[in-house]
Chain A
Amino acid sequence: MDPSAPPLLNCSRIRKTYGDLVAVDDVSFHISPGETYGLLGPNGAGKTTVISMIAGILDADSGKVWVAGEPMHPRATKAKTAVGYVPQDIALYPDLTACENLMFFGRLVGLAGSTLKKRTKEVLRLTGLSDRADDRTSTFSGGMKRRLNIGIGLIHQPRLLILDEPTVGVDPQSRNAILESVDTMADEGMAVLYTTHYMEEAERLCDRIGIIDDGKIVAEGTQRELIEKLGGHDKLHIGITGYGLPAANAAAMLDCVIRVSLGDTAMELIVRDARSSLAEIVNTIVETGAEITGIEIEEPNLEAVFLHLTGKALRD
């Protein structure tokens, strides 16, 4: 990712209403080439509406979307050429083969002739469907359909790939393959907009994350930045034998330690940045004569951030 490169996607204060319902309210964010941006939000938060405006399916009531420097709207054929859209629902023609599905959507984005054939083969290989190329997709498993669903979005090697919950209902093996593919594509310079219900996917893939709730972006940043917004406190579990109370008292005196609670065989410490202060804490405990039997660091995760910011679990 080149932070100095101009953003490939720029959303500026986009808003969408349906009657009295404000589905998206003043949402702004950008994605640079090679960057993977995660849009997290509970159901009904406005993720799909935002994505629909970015993909040119919907017109924004106000605000602007630019893709590759071109304004995006439903008739913006130039801007749409830069986008690969993978909808949340599987969008395939069940009575067409995998190859025919790819070639149809490939032709719609302007591919033809040998280029189309070459890209079709490449995508079939990438999605692991080469041996099922001539089978109707109605005969495919859920995971195979999901892979082809993503493959269609990649047929024209878009500069911006929009993935709306691409791994819902996918087996672990296929999910891993999809995530690896997204990683690879981002490494090759593709900008990726990714929505998911799976926190571990967002943590693994996304360079930056926007948390959307009730149509508004309530927080945005890297995973670390978001966690720090929560306070940045880690939890440290230390197993000990002997001299528990002196060890706990000594640890409580350290600046990095906020709170200590002592159990029969372990103590639990709330600390600032556990990884950098771990050595100091361990030395302090050992000097009291206590013996450490185990250490476990529990860092705050996106799930906690999400819960904190929206008051809802991600799958709500």
Chain B
Amino acid sequence: MAAVLIAIKDLRLRLRDKSAITLGLIAPLGLAIIFSLIIPDVSAGEFTMELGVVGIEDSELGEVFEEAVLDDLDTALFAVTEFDTEGQAQTAVDRLDVFAVIAFPPDIDKAVAEGGGEIQVITTNEAPISGEIALSIARQFAGDVSGVQLSVAVALFAGGADAESLAALTVDTPLRLEVVDLETGDRQLDISTFFAAGMAVFFLFFTVQFGVSGLIQERTDGTLPRLLASPIHPASIIAGKGLAAFVLGVTSMAVLITATSWQIGARWGNPVGVGMLVVAGVASAIGIMAVIATLARTAEQASNIQSVVAVVLGLLGGSFFPVSQGPAILSKMALATPHAWFLRGLGDLAGGGGPSAAMPSTIALLMFAVATGGVAALRMRSMVRL
């Protein structure tokens, strides 16, 4: 009962202290919205690549490119514009009417028949990702053509049919080796959910620090001796601080999940699974921040150290960018952070899994909470003995 009274008092103080609301709600929500606006979500159809082409009607190779590549492009993602000349295409790129252009020179057929040739790609620094995509498409096509050139050259060398027949045969031969994407499409968080979750778990560590640093604040304010002289068990003071931090953390996460779902279309997954991850994530954040609080002498010192640790863990844990796309060592180090486990758990739920899908990450987060919370509780016992 005393712990609840202390927690209610702390929550009232935190509500009056605008910084808790700022760090717990406004900042993560604002950043999630900003990130999701800046970085378009391909899976949600928010991104369209404006691709220009030149010379596809003037060469056989261009026609093959149109049939084999352009006709297969997802029209939801690509908008293709044909230009008569490279000059027109260059102007369009400069004006960002298109983001990149793939150009087939007039003599491309002759050059390819002679075993050479080049496909030009016009890009701009204003749209680097689109440029990379256009280059990738062109390289892929050039690779296929080079394969045909090689096959024909080998067959001619071996004394087979004429070059034209061999080329037609090679082109018509279907590819037998295919690449199938088994996971990423299902398990990866869409961009809005990723940034909503990343910002939520990042700022969670700042939100709960208000609760766990409260014990140092009581000591600084001189109210700790008065609490200790009250007819309550000293452990209830620690419990009250933990409870306040937990309520702050869970409330902040709940509001953010609701707001980002509604505002930026974040898809968090199975509510029970998300709930498990949130509770375990908040507990782990409280544990880590509480350990740090016990190492500090003043609330200000605790706040500074906690902020540094929160930022480092956030960066390492992939709150701002997916660490799985970084070096392997970074991916392994990320597992030492609750952030990575929280995001991994959400990724597991994103594939449509139920609560059991989030269980491994929940258990990992709870292990963080038990380990750090245990150390913090032991150290805090000495703090309530003046």
A90 vs B225: C-alpha distance in the bound complex, in angstroms? 11
A residues within 8 A CB of B227? 108
Q: How far is the CB of A109 from chain B (nearest CB, A)?
A: 6
Q: How far is the CB of B244 from chain A (nearest CB, A)?
A: 13
Interface size, A (range):
20 to 34
> Which of B8-16, B128-136, B278-286 faces chain A?
B8-16
Interface string of B113-147 (1 = CB under 8 A from A): 00000000000000000000000000000000000
Interface string of B372-386 (1 = CB under 8 A from A): 000000000000011
A residues within 8 A CB of B385? 58-59, 74
- With A74-B385, A108-B2 as known contacts, state yes or no: A91 contacts B231, CB within 8 Å: no
Is A93 touching B222 in the complex (CB atoms < 8 A)? Answer: no
A20 vs B16: C-alpha distance in the bound complex, in angstroms? 45
Is B12 touching A57 in the complex (CB atoms < 8 A)? Answer: no
Specify which of A74, A77, A81, A85 is in contact with B226 (CB 8 Å cutoff).
A85
B residues within 8 A CB of A90? 222
Q: How far is the CB of B292 from chain A (nearest CB, A)?
A: 24
Is B17 touching A77 in the complex (CB atoms < 8 A)? Answer: no
B residues within 8 A CB of A59? 385
Q: How far is the CB of A10 from chain B (nearest CB, A)?
A: 18
B residues within 8 A CB of A152? 226
Is A87 touching B231 in the complex (CB atoms < 8 A)? Answer: no
- With A108-B2, A108-B230, A110-B231 as known contacts, state yes or no: A58 contacts B13, CB within 8 Å: no
A85 vs B231: C-alpha distance in the bound complex, in angstroms? 11
Q: Is A259 an interface residue (CB 8 A)?
A: no
Is B221 touching A80 in the complex (CB atoms < 8 A)? Answer: no
Is A52 touching B225 in the complex (CB atoms < 8 A)? Answer: yes
Q: Is B228 an interface residue (CB 8 A)?
A: yes
A residues within 8 A CB of B386? 52, 57-58
A residues within 8 A CB of B221? 91-94
Q: How far is the CB of B245 from chain A (nearest CB, A)?
A: 17
Interface size, B (range):
20 to 34
A187 vs B9: C-alpha distance in the bound complex, in angstroms? 35
Q: Is A107 an interface residue (CB 8 A)?
A: yes
Q: Is A200 an interface residue (CB 8 A)?
A: no
Specify which of A89, A94, A108 is in contact with B232 (CB 8 Å cutoff).
A108
Is A74 touching B231 in the complex (CB atoms < 8 A)? Answer: no
Q: Is A83 an interface residue (CB 8 A)?
A: yes
A58 vs B228: C-alpha distance in the bound complex, in angstroms? 9
Q: Is B88 an interface residue (CB 8 A)?
A: no
Is B223 touching A92 in the complex (CB atoms < 8 A)? Answer: yes
- B230 closest partner in A (C-beta): A108
Q: Is A104 an interface residue (CB 8 A)?
A: yes
A98 vs B221: C-alpha distance in the bound complex, in angstroms? 16
Q: Is A96 an interface residue (CB 8 A)?
A: yes
A-B contact count (CB 8 A): 72
Q: Is A38 an interface residue (CB 8 A)?
A: no
- B5 closest partner in A (C-beta): A107
- A58 closest partner in B (C-beta): B386
A152 vs B226: C-alpha distance in the bound complex, in angstroms? 10
Q: Is A204 an interface residue (CB 8 A)?
A: no
B residues within 8 A CB of A93? 9, 13, 221, 223
A78 vs B230: C-alpha distance in the bound complex, in angstroms? 10
A92 vs B227: C-alpha distance in the bound complex, in angstroms? 11
A55 vs B225: C-alpha distance in the bound complex, in angstroms? 9
Q: Restricting to A201-249, which residues have a CB under 8 Å from any CB of B?
A: none
A residues within 8 A CB of B5? 104, 107-108
Q: Is A66 an interface residue (CB 8 A)?
A: no
Q: Is A140 an interface residue (CB 8 A)?
A: no
Q: How far is the CB of A75 from chain B (nearest CB, A)?
A: 6
Is A105 touching B230 in the complex (CB atoms < 8 A)? Answer: yes
A residues within 8 A CB of B13? 93, 95-96
Q: Restricting to A58-114, which residues have a CB under 8 Å from any CB of B?
A: 58-59, 74-75, 77-78, 80-81, 83, 85, 87, 89-96, 100, 104-105, 107-110
Q: Which of B12, B13, B231, B385 has the most CB of A within 10 A?
A: B231
A residues within 8 A CB of B12? 96, 100
A residues within 8 A CB of B225? 52, 55, 57, 85, 87, 89, 91
Is A83 touching B222 in the complex (CB atoms < 8 A)? Answer: no
Specify which of A74, A85, A92 is in contact with B234 (CB 8 Å cutoff).
A74
Query: Can you list 11 A-B pairs, Cβ within 8 angstroms, ordered by A?
Result: A52-B225, A55-B225, A55-B228, A56-B228, A80-B230, A85-B229, A87-B225, A91-B226, A93-B9, A108-B227, A108-B230
* Given A87-B229, A91-B222, A108-B230, 11 further pairs, Cβ under 8 A: A56-B228, A57-B229, A58-B386, A77-B232, A78-B231, A85-B229, A92-B223, A105-B230, A108-B231, A108-B232, A152-B226
Binding site for B on A (CB under 8 A): 52, 55-59, 74-75, 77-78, 80-81, 83, 85, 87, 89-96, 100, 104-105, 107-110, 152
